[in-house]
Every structure is written in C-alpha cells, then in structure tokens.
Structure 1
C-alpha cells in the first residue's frame, strides 16, 4: 500500500512538473538556445565538421607507410609443362614441369612515398577544409538565430494584434448594449445598431484570422527550433519601448565579420591549391618498398606448407609522367578559370555585402521612425475616440462620428502593428548584414 502511494505521488509530481514546464514562457534567447541544441540543420553542420576532420586524416595517409599482406594457395589440377628443345640435352624434346600440384605463397609489403609533390600540396588544403567546415557551422548557427528571431517577432506582432482586436470587440460589445437601449427608447435607429453589429462581426472574423496566424507562426517557430509540434509553446512579451539603434555606420561595417565573405575567401583559396596540385602532377613520383615473403611447393597440400622458403627484397619505384593526351593540361586550365571566376565573384560579393548593410541601416532608421509615428498616431486616434465615445453617450454627436473615429483607430492600430514588425525584422536584418547575429544572441 505504501509503495503504491509513493508511486502515485511520484507520478502526480511528474505530471505537475511537466504541466508547469509546458506553461513556462520562453524568451527569445531561450528559444535560440533550444534551437541550437535541437535543430537538425545544426547537427548536420556539426557532422560536416567531423567529416572534414576525417578527410584531413585521409589526406595525411598518402604520406604515411602503407603495409599490406597477400597470400594464396594454388591447386594446379593439371600442372603446366615447358618444352626443352631437342639438341640441348639430347635428341628428343624434353617436357619439364617447373612447379608441383600445390603452390603456397605469402608476402608482407611496406610501401612509403618518398616524393610526391601533388600529395604535399594536397596536405596544405587540410587547414582550409577544416576552416571551411568551421565557417559552415557558424553560418548554420547564424541562420538558426535569424530564422528563430524572425518567427518570434512574427508571433509577438500577431499577439499584439489579437490584444487590440479583443479591445475593439469589447468596445463594440458595450456599444451594442448602449445602442440597443437607445433604439428601445426611440432616440436611435435600428440601422445604427446594425452598423455596430456589422463591425462587431467583422472584428470577430479578424480575431479568428489572428488566432490562426498565431498558430501558424508558432508552428514555424517550433520548426525552426526543432521543438515538438504537438507540445504547447508560449513566448514572453517583448518590451516595445526598448530599442537599440545601429552604431556609427561609418565605422560599423566590418567585412571580416561576415561569415559568407570568409567562406568565399576560403573557397577561392581551395581552388588555388587545386590548381597547384594539378600542376604538381607533371613532376616525377618516387616511392620505396620492402617485401618479405614465403613460397612452398608440394604434391599435396601439407607438403606445400612444410616446404615454405623465405625471400625478401627492397627497392625504389620512380614514376615519370610523359604524355597523357593533354588531360592534365586541360584540367590545369579548368582550375585556373575556376579560380579566376571565384576571385571575380568575391569582388562582386564585396559590393553586395556593403549594399545589404547600407540598405539595412536605412530600413531600420525608417522602420523606427515609422513605428514611433504610428504609435503616436494610434494614441492620438485612441484619445479622439474616447472623446467621441463620451460625446455620443451624452448625445452631443451621432453614430456616424462614433463609427468613423473607431474605424480611424483600427486603421492606426493596423499601421502600428505593421511598422512594429518591420522594425523588429529590420533590426535582425541589420545584425545579419553586419555579421553580428551571434553577438546579438549573446547580448539578449
């Protein structure tokens, strides 16, 4: 009985813990941290880094000793004979077999490259390959930060929209009650109530759309985070008063901070090394070897093992390329052109990165200005509506003025929500353009 009670309490505690955990609201930094641990694309990039490490060891193996063993047993079902022509040892041809039915062989060989310029050049690429993998890992991290931030801000904007729509719905609901009383007293027309009812119904539809948009945005955020779709995810409310404007744009852009630019440079350097590796193929290759083995012959299998005799040898092997049908020459020209194209592409990208930064700065300044202006306009529209609402209740103004001021407020709210999301998105775009997404994440 005591064991069952303890188990029940443990199970209940676990359920309550999971419920509390499920209800916990995550801020942007927590969402990004989760994504960096759970997003499959980041795991793929980590695996690519491990693959690069393995390729580096693979390239190094070309200049390390290579040891191999080979052996075999032959059963010569019909032993081949050779002919000694007549006149050498007699008047008749003599048939001689230079082996027996069973032949056993085994050898152990060590090979060592002494000089191979193409291998030496290839080894220089190892550092660049590892650097490329590190940069791809950093790029994957930045992509996750960017995508999660965009989805997070989208959810927040839709939540803000839903709050404003619910306030509007409450306003229309109260107005419906007021107009209904006026209709009963004969001081208002039924069409006035119908107009409010239409706006009430439209707001209900907009709320349903906003709720759907929130669900879709939450699903997008879950996808970017690698978060289970079936679990509930809630985010913390942002402080819309907290803003961080870009630094002095004259000194703020540092191309070396942009991961894609660094990847461009590494890719070009790898093409240059490939060009040198192909050119090195024109040079001779020298390698050495040492071999130790055994031979055994017999009329039966056992005898072929009992008569094993050893042999050994050492030597050098020199390979000199003479003519390959212009294959290597064509490969070298292709490598030269690829490297030149990479350099030209990098020059184009330098301008593109600078353009993206300048545009992002302009968009952020404009987005902040629009947001502040739309915020003030929304507050002003709310103030005007409050006065109009009070005037309507006192009978100083009519329903048309009330509806016009309420519609003006809704338009101001929509403009503010649009500029609010544009501001946050522009902020993330600027962090991406100046290569500071990781710094942005660390500062959250």
Structure 2
C-alpha cells in the first residue's frame, strides 16, 4: 500500500513539473512573439543604429581619417632595396676589348634611403587637405544624422496624424450607419422621401471610401517609418503615441539664424570644401617649384667573368670583381615648363572657390527661408492648440448634454452619435494641432542644426 501511495506521489509530482515546464514555455513563447512597442525616442535610437545611409556616412568619415595617415607618411623617409642578376654573352666584337661586354654574370644588390627635403609645400598642403577632408566627411555624417532624425520625427508624427484620421473616419462611418438605419425605418413608415434615404446611403459610401484612404495612409506612413529604421515592413511593431504638449520658449529669427550658421553641418561642409579648393590651388602652384631630395644608398655588385684576362706578356689574371660602397647626395629636379597645365589647374580651383562661395550664399538663403517657415508654422500651430482646447471643452459639454437628454427620453441615438463625432473630431483636431506643432519644432531643429 505504501508503495502504491509512493507511486501516486511520483506521478502527481511529475505532472506538476510537466505543467510548470509547459507554463514556462508558453510564457517564453508569448514573450518572444509579443508585439514590440516603440516610442519616438526608441525609433530615433534604432534609426541611428540601423539606417544604412547613416552607417555609410560614418564609414566614409573613418576612411577619410585613413587618408590623413597616408598623407602624413609623405613626411617620412622612404626605404627601398633591389637585387638583380644579369648574364652577358658576347656574340661578336671588334676593336679593343671592353670588359663591360665580355661574357660574364653580374649580381647586384642595393638599398636606398630617400628623404624629400622640399617639394614646394605640396606635402604640407596635401596633409592639410586630408585633414579638411576628414572634418568634411564628419560634418557630412552629422548632416545625415540630422536629416535622419528629422525624417523619423516627422514620419512618426505623420503616422500619429494618420491614425487620428482613421479614428475620425471610423466615427463618421458609425454615425452614418445609424443614420441609414433610421432613414430606412422612417422610409418604411413613409415619413421621409426616398431621396433622403438615398442621400444618406451616398454619404455612408463616401465615408467608407474616406476611411479606406485613411487606413491606407496609416500603412504608408508606417512602412516609411520602418524603412528609416531598416526594419522589415512586416515587423510586429506598434508605435506608442506620446503625450507631449511642451511649448518651446519664444525664439526670434535672428537667434535661430545665428544658431543655424554656427551649427548647420552643410554650412561646415561647404566651408571645408572651400578650404580644400584653396589647398588644391596651392598644390597646383607648388608644381612650379623644384623638388629637393636627399639619398643615401649602399651598393654591392659582383662580376663573374667566364674567361680570365690576359696581359701583354701572355700572363692570365682573374677578372672577377666585387664592389661594395656607400653613396650619399642631394638631388634637385625642376619641371620648368609643362604647357601651362599646373597654371590652368590652379585657375580651375580658384573658380571652384567662387562656386563654393555662391553655394554657401544659396544654403544660407535656404536656411533663412526654412527658419521663417518653421517659426510661422509654430505660431499657427500654437494658436490652434489653444483654440482646439476650447473646442474640446465645448464638445465634451455638448456630448454630456445629449447623453443626459437621451436618458431623459427627449433626444435620439443619432443625435448622441453626432455629438460623439463632434467630440472625437475636436479631440482629433487638438491632437493634430499638437502633432503639427511638434513637426514644426522638428523643422526648426533641422534648420538650426540642432543636435540629434
């Protein structure tokens, strides 16, 4: 009997453990496939981490840093060596014998240390140009980050506004559906003409079309936002709307423009391009100056003749010879005339400087216009936020009154639904005003070069 109870306890214990294991597996599985919720801050973090275009800009800045090391190497001496084996076999000869052309094997080894002493400042200018190029690449990466943040923020706000449109359109469909039912009931009792029923049905069909368009806009905004974060369109991600009613402190145009000129990465990019053009012009002009180089070399040459030499008296001697020696010297080369190539190259870079200055002016005009638009949008959205808050308060009071009248039996369900639609529309307008304000704030941050 005790053994039977023991076996039963074992079975119950096994069942409990099995149930616990299944429960844990179900919990883990549900968590693994749970919908991920992302806030705007998480979207920005994911986008800056995953976006391929932004990663490419960072790699470009890293590669430009390697160019600095390459240019810096030109300041250091170069060391080279060589070895050769040469066989000379005489076919025919006439006149006095020349030992250089007798049958022989020549082995030669050399090692040379060379240092450029002067190159018309070309090495210095090339190094400085590489440093400007690296800083320009970093500024381009900053610009890419700034633009990516702007697109993610505006895409997020666009998705939230599209959702509001769906909510409003859904409420309109619900209200018109009830209106159609009421119209059909009145038409059956011959209380309304058929044209009123048909008009209500047309309004319902139109509302359903608008609802379909609104839902499609949600999908489009969602796919675009996921693409910016390098996520699949089918990703199980839900975007959480954040309640941000923060109003920025007043900012004048002069303050915003001064910040833009100081912080905008594209202005820095153009300034670096201008410095690079100046360095390229100096490099081209430096080609008219001589290049001075110091060389130190070691030579080891071994000549092995096939036949010994013969003196005037008929005595033979060994011709084989081996020479080892050091040599040092300073050499200067000067390209005196190149058909004007370097001069025209210098003029080309001077013209590039004028072009870049014009681009800087154009960029400043574009930024000025963008700042003015953003400030106007902020002001308009701020006014709508105040007005929509009053509208929401009035719509809530109207809805509460209709609800009270319906309970008292002096109102109808369509009237309550109409009040509900007004309330939803007012709340949607308030949310859209806030989202429009946040979008304008993102535009202002983009124009002023705000850090992501």
TM over 0.5: yes
1:232 and 2:232 aligned: no
Alpha-carbon distance change, 27 to 415 in structure 1, aligned in 2, over 3 angstroms: closer
1:271 and 2:277 aligned: yes
Paired position in structure 1 for 2:38: 26
Paired position in structure 2 for 1:284: 290
* Aligned partner of 1:333 among 347, 372, 377: 347
After TM superposition, the structure 1 stretch with the greater mean CA deviation from structure 2, 281-290 or 405-414, is: 405-414
Does structure 1 conserve the Cα–Cα contact (< 8 Å) formed by 2:79 and 2:111?
yes
Aligned equivalents of 2:164 and 2:352: distance in 1?
A: 51
Give the secondary-structure state (helix, strand or coil) at the position aligned to 2:101. coil
How far is 1:382 from its partner? 8.2
Q: Which runs of 4+ in 1 moved over 6 A?
A: 4-11, 381-391, 393-397, 401-418
* Aligned partner of 1:59 among 71, 75, 86: 71
* Aligned partner of 2:446 among 428, 432, 435: 432
Aligned equivalents of 1:383 and 1:213: distance in 2?
A: 32
Aligned equivalents of 1:297 and 1:384: distance in 2?
A: 113
How far is 1:256 from its partner? 0.3
Does structure 1 conserve the Cα–Cα contact (< 8 Å) formed by 2:172 and 2:421?
no
Paired position in structure 2 for 1:168: 172
Does structure 2 conserve the Cα–Cα contact (< 8 Å) formed by 1:113 and 1:287?
yes
Paired position in structure 2 for 1:115: 118
Alpha-carbon distance change, 405 to 10 in structure 1, aligned in 2, over 3 angstroms: closer
After TM superposition, the structure 1 stretch with the greater mean CA deviation from structure 2, 323-332 or 235-244, is: 235-244
Alpha-carbon distance change, 167 to 229 in structure 1, aligned in 2, over 3 angstroms: same
Give the secondary-structure state (helix, strand or coil) at the position aligned to 1:313. strand
* Aligned partner of 1:360 among 360, 363, 374: 374
**CA radius of gyration, larger in:** 2
How far is 1:64 from its partner? 1.0
CA deviation vs aligned residue, 1:7-59 (integer Å, no higher than 9, x gap): 98886555323223xx1321111101000000011111111111111100111
1:79 and 2:83 aligned: no
Paired position in structure 2 for 1:91: none
Paired position in structure 1 for 2:248: 244
Alpha-carbon distance change, 13 to 287 in structure 1, aligned in 2, over 3 angstroms: farther
Aligned equivalents of 1:95 and 1:60: distance in 2?
A: 48
Aligned equivalents of 1:141 and 1:59: distance in 2?
A: 28
Does structure 2 conserve the Cα–Cα contact (< 8 Å) formed by 1:381 and 1:412?
yes
Does structure 1 conserve the Cα–Cα contact (< 8 Å) formed by 2:60 and 2:137?
yes
CA deviation vs aligned residue, 1:280-315 (integer Å, no higher than 9, x gap): 222222111122233234479xxxxx9865333222
How far is 1:358 from its partner? 2.3
Aligned equivalents of 1:106 and 1:81: distance in 2?
A: 29
Paired position in structure 1 for 2:302: 296
Structure 2 gap segments, 5+ residues each: 1-13, 307-319
Give the secondary-structure state (helix, strand or coil) at the position aligned to 1:324. coil
Alpha-carbon distance change, 320 to 50 in structure 1, aligned in 2, over 3 angstroms: same
How far is 1:147 from its partner? 0.9
The CA RMSD measured in Å over matched residues stands at 3.9
Aligned equivalents of 1:280 and 1:225: distance in 2?
A: 48
Aligned equivalents of 1:37 and 1:18: distance in 2?
A: 22
After TM superposition, the structure 1 stretch with the greater mean CA deviation from structure 2, 254-263 or 360-369, is: 360-369
Give the secondary-structure state (helix, strand or coil) at the position aligned to 1:84. coil
Aligned equivalents of 2:239 and 2:253: distance in 1?
A: 32
How far is 1:102 from its partner? 3.2
Paired position in structure 2 for 1:312: 326
Q: How many residues align?
A: 419
